[in-house]
């Protein structure tokens, strides 16, 4: 399906946020396999992988797990593919939910909608801004490469 969608749409930029629901021990490998397929079938596109959002306050174990998954994205997945020449970067959608960026359990009150999983409207707006800034960074990078 990845190859078919890429062939059909021919994207310049691909945004990927995956792993919030049903994350398990296989999730890092599954994500790496998906990223591998994307960069193989869209080598000229830039893939931006999101660091996933936390669940509402009080779900400490899940938020520590999300933080560990984000560390994998930020410190292993993206650098590994970038070192292979893939156009890949990350955006941090996790930290904006925290009162203390060093404590993954410090989720601010009011950041989630009614079910404790989905972000509030205000947080959705902040997430959109983070995505936009990630896309702008890719655009700036592309412009600087064209000048060389």
Instruction: Give the model confidence (pLDDT) of 17-39 as tens digits.
Output: 998 888 899 999 999 999 999 99
13-16 vs 88-92, strand pairing mode: unpaired
Task: Report residues of the chain scoring pLDDT below 70.
Answer: 115, 141-148
DSSP state at residue 84? T
DSSP 8-class letter at 52: P
């Amino acid at each position: 399906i990845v190859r078919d969608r890429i062939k059909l749409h021919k994207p310049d930029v691909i945004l990927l946020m995956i792993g919030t629901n049903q994350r398990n021990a296989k999730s890092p490998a599954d994500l790496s396999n998906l990223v591998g397929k994307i960069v193989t079938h869209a080598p000229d596109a830039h893939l931006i992988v999101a660091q996933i959002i936390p669940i509402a306050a009080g779900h400490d174990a899940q938020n520590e797990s999300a933080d560990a998954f984000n560390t994998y994205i930020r410190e292993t997945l993206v650098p590994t593919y970038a070192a292979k020449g893939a156009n890949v970067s990350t955006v941090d959608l996790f930290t904006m939910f925290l009162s203390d960026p060093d404590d993954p359990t410090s989720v601010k009150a009011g950041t989630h909608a009614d079910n404790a999983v989905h972000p509030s409207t205000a947080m959705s707006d902040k997430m959109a801004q983070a995505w936009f800034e990630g896309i702008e960074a890719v655009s700036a990078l592309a412009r600087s490469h064209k000048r060389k």
